[in-house]
């Protein structure tokens, strides 16, 4: 006859194993779809993008732990706002050499700046949500400690930015730092803002032919600098 404690322990172990399998499966599905989107040519890429987005939404809804767990909360917002200040400082330091090298490309007005980068800012927030609320949260259940989970999440984040030799190392460093900051403050908003600042800084300081306009995956390999393409001579008038 089994002791009650042994039965309870076996049930807990079975539940934990099931939870780990589920987390691993959710990670594999979402990350696999993301990589497929990145490396698939158009027009299939757009269709697969919606498939991947739908999968993430469904998985997140099924395993929803609340807005607080996702860092979508007011608590610790001001305490972690120093991250935005640090991002602005890095941006200012990056603008200085870009100005000297004549690689700085700023929109002509504040309104034009907003029109140019508002969509990217939203995309930066989505990426930060995926990194912290989807990948990190599941890796914390799979790996033995928080630092290893943060490192794994950062590695997945960086791999998704290959083969860009600029974005891959930057996202590796930022991904790891962002995960550690999130684990301390549990607030996503300043990290999303900092991500947008870093991305916009790269966009306005690094020439398009160097970083391929911040493209990744197949888009990076197929990038063509329109400014360097030979001009097609106009047909003579009839």
Q: Is 182 exposed, middle or buried (0-12, 13-18, 19+ CB in 10 A)?
A: buried
Task: Give pLDDT, residue 238.
Answer: 37
Which pLDDT band holds residue 233 (cuts at 50, 70, 90)?
A: very low
**pLDDT tens-digit profile of 205-231?**
999 999 999 999 999 999 986 555 444
pLDDT per residue as tens digits for the range 122-176: 999 999 999 999 999 999 999 999 999 999 999 999 999 999 999 999 999 999 9
Provide CB contacts within 8 A for 123, sequence distance 6+: none
Could you tell me the pLDDT band of residue 13, with boundaries at 50, 70 and 90?
A: low
For 95, residues 6+ apart whose C-beta sits below 8 A from its C-beta are 104, 201, 204, 205
pLDDT tier at 237 (50, 70, 90 boundaries)? very low
The band of 34, judged by pLDDT with boundaries at 50, 70 and 90, is very high
CB 179 within 8 A of CB 153: yes
Mean pLDDT of all residues belonging to the chain: 90
- Please tell me the predicted confidence (pLDDT) of residue 63: 87
Cα 66 to chain centroid, rounded: 21
Cα(237)–Cα(205) distance, rounded to whole angstroms?
42
The residue extents of the domains of the chain are 18-64, 67-216
CA atoms in the 13 A half-sphere facing the CB of 69: 11
Residue-wise pLDDT tens digits, 71-122:
999 999 999 999 999 999 999 999 999 999 999 999 999 999 999 999 999 9
Residue with tokens 């991250």: 83
H helix or E strand, kind and range, residue 57: helix 44-62
The length of the chain in residues reads 238
User: Whole-angstrom Cα distance, residue 180 to residue 222?
Assistant: 35
């Amino acid at each position: 006859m089994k002791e009650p404690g042994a039965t309870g322990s076996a049930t807990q172990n079975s539940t934990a194993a099931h939870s780990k399998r589920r987390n691993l499966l959710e990670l594999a599905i979402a990350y696999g779809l993301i990589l497929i989107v990145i490396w698939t040519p158009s027009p299939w890429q757009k269709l697969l993008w919606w498939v991947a987005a739908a999968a993430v939404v469904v998985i997140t809804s099924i395993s929803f732990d609340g807005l607080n767990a996702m860092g979508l909360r007011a608590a610790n917002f001001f305490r972690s706002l120093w991250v935005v200040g640090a991002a602005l400082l890095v941006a200012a330091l990056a603008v200085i050499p870009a100005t000297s090298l004549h690689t700085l490309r700023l929109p002509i007005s504040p309104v034009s700046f907003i029109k140019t980068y508002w969509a990217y800012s939203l995309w930066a927030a989505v990426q930060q949500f995926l990194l912290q609320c989807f990948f990190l949260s599941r890796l914390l259940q799979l790996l033995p400690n928080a630092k290893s989970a943060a490192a794994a999440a950062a590695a997945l984040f960086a791999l998704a930015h290959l083969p860009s030799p600029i974005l891959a190392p930057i996202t590796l460093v930022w991904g790891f730092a962002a995960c550690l900051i999130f684990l301390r403050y549990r607030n996503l908003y300043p990290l999303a803002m900092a991500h947008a600042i870093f991305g916009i800084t790269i966009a306005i300081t690094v020439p398009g032919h160097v970083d391929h306009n911040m493209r990744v995956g197949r888009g990076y390999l197929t990038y063509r600098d329109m400014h360097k393409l030979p001009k097609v001579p106009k047909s003579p008038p009839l």
